[in-house]
Every structure is written in structure tokens, then in C-alpha cells.
């Protein structure tokens, strides 16, 4: 229950007022918003207590050092948002995998633990970050995925609601 509440608060931070039904994970309809080749539309920024700044488009929050936004957002979020984000960035999450371990499943990517991710963000991360140095940590499909670069948490990504469930064995 607490993880769903925190996920709701996180999405409220990055999306800035979404309804409860889309708070836990991205809807498939949201996945089609930006074209895969376009740049993300950054909307909000938050300053962390360690001095870093994260920028968000509503589904991903990434350290500006790596996002390299063309036009930084001027909508700054309060300290309470920073504390929520920091709690995720420092969480001990059981599932750890590389970008290269994501497999295509229809119009989504799936992690080894079946958490699904929007290909727009996977492609963006692959373009912006040195893929061999990136690890993704997650707990489940209701929690943000923490993006690590060289062992340091640099961002969060909301998983998608799975439109393509994993194949059943048996």
C-alpha cells in the first residue's frame, strides 16, 4: 500500500496533476505522446538536497547533467517533492538489470521481472547515456524504475501498464 502511495506522489510530481487511474504506471495512450525520434518535452525541475537538479517530462525524471535539456523548465517543485524523489533514488530495490536486458514485447520493452517500459524512454536513455554503464533497478510495476549510471542513481522512470502480458508457459 505504501509503495502505491509513494508512486502516486511521484507521478503527481512528474506529471503535475494526473488522475489516480494513471498514477501508478503510464497508460499506453501516454506512450504515444512524443514521437520516438523527437526530444522529450521537459516540464518540471526539482533540486535535490545534494545539489543536483532533476528535470521531468511527466514519466521520466533525469539529472540535468545527463538530460542536457535544450530549454530548462522554469516550473520548480517544492522541497517535499525532492524528498520523495530522494527516497526512491536511495531505495534498496530487488531487481537489477541492464538496458540491454530489456526485450521488445509488442509496442513496449519488458524487463526480466516483466515490468514494462515505454520504448520512447528506452531509446532516449540509449541515445543519451553510455548503455554499458547503465543499470535499472525496480521493485515492481507499481513503482518507479531507478536509473543508475556507474553505480549512482541519476533518475527515475515510471513503468507502463502492460498491454502485452508475458506469454504463459504450461
pLDDT for 27 equals 43
Cβ proximity of 145 and 62 under 8 Å: no
pTM: 0.76
What grid cell was written down for 99? 538496458
How much of the chain exceeds pLDDT 90, in percent?
A: 56
* Structure letter (DSSP) for residue 76: B
CA distances from 49 to 3, 38, 42, 63, 156 (A): 22, 31, 21, 13, 16
Q: pLDDT tens digits for 59-106?
A: 999 999 998 886 666 788 888 999 999 999 999 999 999 999 999 999
In a domain, 137, yes or no: yes
In a domain, 135, yes or no: yes
Query: Within 10 Å of residue 74's Cβ, how many Cβ atoms?
Result: 7
In a domain, 100, yes or no: yes
What grid cell was written down for 126? 540509449
Q: How many domains does the chain have?
A: 1
In a domain, 35, yes or no: no
104, burial (CB in 10 Å: exposed 0-12, middle 13-18, buried 19+): exposed
Amino acid at each position: 500500500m505504501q509503495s502505491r502511495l509513494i508512486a502516486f506522489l511521484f507521478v503527481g510530481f512528474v506529471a503535475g496533476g494526473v488522475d489516480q487511474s494513471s498514477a501508478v504506471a503510464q497508460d499506453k495512450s501516454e506512450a504515444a505522446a512524443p514521437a520516438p525520434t523527437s526530444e522529450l518535452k521537459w516540464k518540471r525541475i526539482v533540486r535535490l538536497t545534494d545539489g543536483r537538479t532533476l528535470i521531468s517530462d511527466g514519466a521520466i525524471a533525469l539529472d540535468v547533467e545527463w538530460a542536457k535539456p535544450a530549454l530548462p523548465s522554469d516550473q520548480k517543485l517544492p522541497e517535499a517533492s525532492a524528498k520523495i524523489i530522494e527516497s526512491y533514488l536511495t531505495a534498496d530495490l530487488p531487481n537489477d538489470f541492464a538496458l540491454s536486458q530489456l526485450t521488445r514485447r509488442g509496442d513496449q520493452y519488458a524487463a526480466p521481472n516483466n515490468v514494462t517500459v515505454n520504448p520512447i524512454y528506452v531509446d532516449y536513455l540509449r541515445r543519451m547515456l553510455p548503455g554499458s554503464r547503465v543499470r535499472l533497478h525496480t521493485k515492481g510495476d507499481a513503482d518507479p524504475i531507478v536509473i543508475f549510471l556507474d553505480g549512482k542513481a541519476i533518475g527515475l522512470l515510471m513503468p507502463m501498464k502492460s498491454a502485452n502480458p508475458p506469454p504463459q508457459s504450461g
